[in-house]
A and B are shown apart, each in its own frame.
Chain A
Protein backbone atom coordinates (compact mmCIF):
# COMPACT_ATOMS: atom_id res chain seq x y z
CA UNK A 1 0.00 0.00 0.00
CA UNK A 2 1.42 3.32 -1.03
CA UNK A 3 1.22 5.64 1.91
CA UNK A 4 2.25 9.26 1.65
CA UNK A 5 5.69 10.48 0.81
CA UNK A 6 8.59 8.01 0.68
CA UNK A 7 10.76 8.03 3.80
CA UNK A 8 13.85 10.19 4.09
CA UNK A 9 17.24 8.98 2.90
CA UNK A 10 18.21 6.64 5.79
CA UNK A 11 21.65 8.19 6.23
CA UNK A 12 20.24 11.68 6.52
CA UNK A 13 17.56 10.41 8.90
CA UNK A 14 20.34 8.76 10.90
CA UNK A 15 22.38 11.96 11.07
CA UNK A 16 19.26 13.82 12.22
CA UNK A 17 18.58 11.18 14.91
CA UNK A 18 22.23 11.25 15.99
CA UNK A 19 22.13 15.04 16.36
CA UNK A 20 18.96 14.79 18.46
CA UNK A 21 20.74 12.24 20.65
CA UNK A 22 23.77 14.51 20.98
CA UNK A 23 21.48 17.38 21.94
CA UNK A 24 19.83 15.15 24.54
CA UNK A 25 23.20 14.44 26.14
CA UNK A 26 24.22 18.08 25.98
CA UNK A 27 20.97 19.37 27.51
CA UNK A 28 19.69 16.61 29.77
CA UNK A 29 23.01 14.88 30.43
CA UNK A 30 21.30 11.61 29.51
CA UNK A 31 20.45 9.94 26.23
CA UNK A 32 17.14 9.29 24.50
CA UNK A 33 14.83 6.64 25.87
CA UNK A 34 11.44 5.14 25.20
CA UNK A 35 11.05 2.08 27.40
CA UNK A 36 11.76 4.10 30.56
CA UNK A 37 8.58 6.09 29.99
CA UNK A 38 6.67 2.93 29.12
CA UNK A 39 7.80 1.29 32.36
CA UNK A 40 6.68 4.31 34.39
CA UNK A 41 3.31 4.09 32.70
CA UNK A 42 3.13 0.39 33.54
CA UNK A 43 3.90 1.18 37.17
CA UNK A 44 1.16 3.81 37.26
CA UNK A 45 -1.34 1.34 35.75
CA UNK A 46 -0.25 -1.32 38.22
CA UNK A 47 -0.83 1.24 40.97
CA UNK A 48 -4.36 1.91 39.74
CA UNK A 49 -5.15 -1.79 39.91
CA UNK A 50 -3.37 -2.63 43.16
CA UNK A 51 -1.98 0.42 44.97
CA UNK A 52 -0.66 -1.24 48.13
CA UNK A 53 0.88 -4.14 46.22
CA UNK A 54 2.63 -1.83 43.75
CA UNK A 55 3.99 0.45 46.46
CA UNK A 56 5.42 -2.53 48.29
CA UNK A 57 6.85 -4.17 45.17
CA UNK A 58 10.59 -4.30 44.85
CA UNK A 59 10.94 -2.76 41.39
CA UNK A 60 8.03 -0.36 40.82
CA UNK A 61 7.95 0.49 44.53
CA UNK A 62 11.10 2.60 44.23
CA UNK A 63 9.19 5.01 41.97
CA UNK A 64 6.16 5.42 44.25
CA UNK A 65 4.12 7.49 44.64
CA UNK A 66 4.82 9.85 41.72
CA UNK A 67 5.42 7.19 39.10
CA UNK A 68 5.01 9.58 36.20
CA UNK A 69 7.19 12.42 37.51
CA UNK A 70 10.12 11.40 35.37
CA UNK A 71 11.76 13.01 32.40
CA UNK A 72 11.45 9.91 30.20
CA UNK A 73 7.65 9.98 30.61
CA UNK A 74 7.67 13.46 29.08
CA UNK A 75 10.00 12.30 26.34
CA UNK A 76 7.62 9.43 25.59
CA UNK A 77 4.72 11.88 25.24
CA UNK A 78 6.94 14.00 23.00
CA UNK A 79 7.64 10.94 20.83
CA UNK A 80 3.92 10.59 20.18
CA UNK A 81 3.51 14.23 19.34
CA UNK A 82 6.57 14.21 17.07
CA UNK A 83 5.41 11.06 15.34
CA UNK A 84 1.95 12.50 14.83
CA UNK A 85 3.26 15.80 13.43
CA UNK A 86 5.67 14.11 11.07
CA UNK A 87 3.22 11.49 9.86
CA UNK A 88 0.57 14.18 9.35
CA UNK A 89 2.84 16.42 7.29
CA UNK A 90 4.13 13.51 5.21
CA UNK A 91 0.64 12.11 4.64
CA UNK A 92 1.44 8.87 6.38
CA UNK A 93 -1.44 8.88 8.87
CA UNK A 94 -3.05 5.62 7.84
CA UNK A 95 -4.94 3.82 10.59
CA UNK A 96 -4.93 0.05 10.33
CA UNK A 97 -3.32 -3.19 11.33
CA UNK A 98 -0.14 -3.64 9.34
CA UNK A 99 0.37 -7.20 8.13
CA UNK A 100 1.36 -9.16 5.06
CA UNK A 101 -1.00 -10.52 2.40
CA UNK A 102 -2.80 -13.62 3.56
CA UNK A 103 -1.94 -13.15 7.22
CA UNK A 104 -5.05 -13.44 9.40
CA UNK A 105 -5.52 -10.41 11.66
CA UNK A 106 -5.63 -12.69 14.71
CA UNK A 107 -2.15 -14.07 14.00
CA UNK A 108 -0.65 -10.62 13.60
CA UNK A 109 -2.34 -9.50 16.80
CA UNK A 110 -0.99 -12.45 18.79
CA UNK A 111 2.52 -11.94 17.42
CA UNK A 112 2.57 -8.23 18.01
CA UNK A 113 1.25 -8.52 21.56
CA UNK A 114 3.69 -11.35 22.34
CA UNK A 115 6.55 -9.32 20.85
CA UNK A 116 5.57 -6.35 22.99
CA UNK A 117 5.51 -8.53 26.08
CA UNK A 118 9.03 -9.82 25.43
CA UNK A 119 10.34 -6.36 24.62
CA UNK A 120 8.76 -4.78 27.71
CA UNK A 121 10.22 -7.49 29.90
CA UNK A 122 13.66 -7.42 28.28
CA UNK A 123 13.86 -3.63 28.45
CA UNK A 124 13.56 -3.80 32.24
CA UNK A 125 16.11 -6.57 32.51
CA UNK A 126 18.60 -4.64 30.39
CA UNK A 127 17.67 -1.19 31.74
CA UNK A 128 16.74 0.13 28.34
CA UNK A 129 15.65 -0.70 24.83
CA UNK A 130 16.85 -0.03 21.31
CA UNK A 131 17.01 3.70 21.98
CA UNK A 132 17.89 4.01 25.66
CA UNK A 133 20.41 1.19 25.85
CA UNK A 134 21.65 0.22 22.37
CA UNK A 135 21.75 3.65 20.73
CA UNK A 136 22.34 6.01 23.69
CA UNK A 137 24.84 3.76 25.47
CA UNK A 138 26.38 2.58 22.21
CA UNK A 139 27.20 6.16 21.24
CA UNK A 140 29.34 6.38 24.39
CA UNK A 141 30.95 3.03 23.49
CA UNK A 142 29.79 1.48 26.76
CA UNK A 143 30.51 -2.25 26.87
CA UNK A 144 27.11 -3.37 28.12
CA UNK A 145 25.23 -1.31 25.54
CA UNK A 146 27.27 -2.72 22.67
CA UNK A 147 26.80 -6.28 23.92
CA UNK A 148 23.09 -5.54 24.09
CA UNK A 149 23.09 -4.13 20.55
CA UNK A 150 24.91 -7.15 19.13
CA UNK A 151 22.68 -9.62 21.01
CA UNK A 152 19.59 -7.81 19.77
CA UNK A 153 20.45 -8.24 16.10
CA UNK A 154 21.80 -11.78 16.45
CA UNK A 155 18.64 -12.87 18.19
CA UNK A 156 16.33 -10.98 15.81
CA UNK A 157 17.90 -12.60 12.76
CA UNK A 158 17.90 -16.01 14.42
CA UNK A 159 14.20 -16.12 15.25
CA UNK A 160 12.72 -14.03 12.40
CA UNK A 161 11.89 -17.10 10.31
CA UNK A 162 9.31 -18.21 12.88
CA UNK A 163 7.36 -15.01 12.39
CA UNK A 164 7.78 -14.75 8.64
CA UNK A 165 4.20 -15.78 7.91
CA UNK A 166 2.82 -12.48 9.16
CA UNK A 167 4.57 -10.62 6.33
CA UNK A 168 5.00 -13.03 3.43
CA UNK A 169 2.43 -15.24 1.81
Chain B
Protein backbone atom coordinates (compact mmCIF):
# COMPACT_ATOMS: atom_id res chain seq x y z
CA UNK B 1 0.00 0.00 0.00
CA UNK B 2 0.99 3.63 -0.22
CA UNK B 3 2.67 3.14 -3.55
CA UNK B 4 1.93 6.77 -4.44
CA UNK B 5 3.54 8.06 -1.24
CA UNK B 6 6.60 5.87 -1.82
CA UNK B 7 7.01 7.31 -5.32
CA UNK B 8 6.38 10.85 -4.10
CA UNK B 9 9.10 10.38 -1.46
CA UNK B 10 11.53 9.11 -4.12
CA UNK B 11 11.31 12.23 -6.27
CA UNK B 12 13.01 14.82 -4.04
CA UNK B 13 15.86 12.35 -3.62
CA UNK B 14 16.39 11.74 -7.34
CA UNK B 15 16.00 15.42 -8.17
CA UNK B 16 18.71 16.22 -5.64
CA UNK B 17 20.98 13.49 -7.01
CA UNK B 18 20.43 14.82 -10.53
CA UNK B 19 21.37 18.34 -9.41
CA UNK B 20 24.49 17.18 -7.55
CA UNK B 21 25.64 15.07 -10.48
CA UNK B 22 24.70 17.55 -13.21
CA UNK B 23 22.25 15.22 -14.92
CA UNK B 24 20.05 16.69 -17.61
CA UNK B 25 17.68 13.73 -17.57
CA UNK B 26 17.02 10.54 -15.67
CA UNK B 27 16.10 7.55 -17.80
CA UNK B 28 16.07 4.76 -15.19
CA UNK B 29 15.17 4.62 -11.50
CA UNK B 30 16.09 1.49 -9.54
CA UNK B 31 13.91 0.58 -6.58
CA UNK B 32 14.31 -2.41 -4.25
CA UNK B 33 11.18 -3.74 -2.57
CA UNK B 34 11.31 -6.50 0.04
CA UNK B 35 8.91 -9.44 -0.01
CA UNK B 36 7.49 -8.55 3.42
CA UNK B 37 6.34 -5.15 2.21
CA UNK B 38 2.72 -5.00 1.15
CA UNK B 39 3.42 -3.14 -2.09
CA UNK B 40 2.12 -3.89 -5.59
CA UNK B 41 4.72 -3.38 -8.36
CA UNK B 42 2.04 -2.46 -10.93
CA UNK B 43 0.75 0.30 -8.67
CA UNK B 44 4.29 1.59 -8.23
CA UNK B 45 4.69 1.69 -12.02
CA UNK B 46 1.44 3.56 -12.46
CA UNK B 47 2.27 6.05 -9.69
CA UNK B 48 5.75 6.57 -11.11
CA UNK B 49 4.52 7.27 -14.63
CA UNK B 50 2.07 9.81 -13.23
CA UNK B 51 4.45 11.58 -10.84
CA UNK B 52 7.37 11.61 -13.31
CA UNK B 53 5.52 13.75 -15.87
CA UNK B 54 7.10 17.19 -16.23
CA UNK B 55 10.04 16.21 -14.03
CA UNK B 56 13.62 15.35 -14.84
CA UNK B 57 12.56 11.70 -14.90
CA UNK B 58 9.71 12.16 -17.40
CA UNK B 59 9.44 9.01 -19.47
CA UNK B 60 12.00 7.17 -17.34
CA UNK B 61 11.79 3.46 -16.66
CA UNK B 62 11.16 2.33 -13.10
CA UNK B 63 13.05 -0.89 -12.51
CA UNK B 64 11.79 -2.73 -9.47
CA UNK B 65 13.96 -5.40 -7.88
CA UNK B 66 11.90 -7.68 -5.63
CA UNK B 67 14.05 -8.73 -2.70
CA UNK B 68 13.13 -12.16 -1.31
CA UNK B 69 12.63 -12.78 2.40
CA UNK B 70 15.78 -14.50 3.60
CA UNK B 71 16.62 -15.68 7.09
CA UNK B 72 19.53 -17.10 9.01
CA UNK B 73 18.78 -19.97 11.37
CA UNK B 74 20.23 -19.19 14.78
CA UNK B 75 20.29 -22.88 15.57
CA UNK B 76 22.28 -24.31 12.63
CA UNK B 77 23.53 -20.98 11.18
CA UNK B 78 22.34 -21.85 7.65
CA UNK B 79 20.67 -19.18 5.53
CA UNK B 80 17.54 -19.80 3.47
CA UNK B 81 14.77 -18.09 1.54
CA UNK B 82 11.42 -17.98 3.29
CA UNK B 83 8.69 -19.27 1.00
CA UNK B 84 4.92 -19.48 1.54
CA UNK B 85 5.24 -17.62 4.87
CA UNK B 86 6.84 -20.62 6.51
CA UNK B 87 9.38 -19.26 8.95
CA UNK B 88 10.95 -22.58 9.82
CA UNK B 89 14.52 -23.63 8.96
CA UNK B 90 14.38 -26.22 6.16
CA UNK B 91 17.63 -27.73 7.43
CA UNK B 92 16.96 -28.24 11.12
CA UNK B 93 13.27 -27.29 11.70
CA UNK B 94 14.11 -24.50 14.14
CA UNK B 95 12.01 -21.35 14.16
CA UNK B 96 14.68 -19.34 15.95
CA UNK B 97 15.53 -17.11 13.01
CA UNK B 98 17.12 -13.80 12.17
CA UNK B 99 15.43 -12.12 9.20
CA UNK B 100 18.14 -10.89 6.86
CA UNK B 101 16.23 -9.37 3.94
CA UNK B 102 12.63 -8.68 3.00
CA UNK B 103 11.72 -5.40 4.64
CA UNK B 104 13.45 -3.05 2.23
CA UNK B 105 12.02 -0.14 0.36
CA UNK B 106 15.26 1.27 -0.98
CA UNK B 107 15.97 3.71 -3.75
CA UNK B 108 18.99 1.88 -5.13
CA UNK B 109 20.06 4.33 -7.80
CA UNK B 110 19.38 6.12 -11.05
CA UNK B 111 20.72 6.14 -14.57
CA UNK B 112 20.85 9.47 -16.29
CA UNK B 113 22.48 11.64 -18.91
CA UNK B 114 25.05 14.18 -17.88
CA UNK B 115 24.57 17.73 -19.00
CA UNK B 116 27.75 18.24 -21.02
CA UNK B 117 27.51 22.04 -20.85
Q: Do A and B bind each other?
A: no
Residues of B within 8 A of A (CB): none
Residues of A within 8 A of B (CB): none
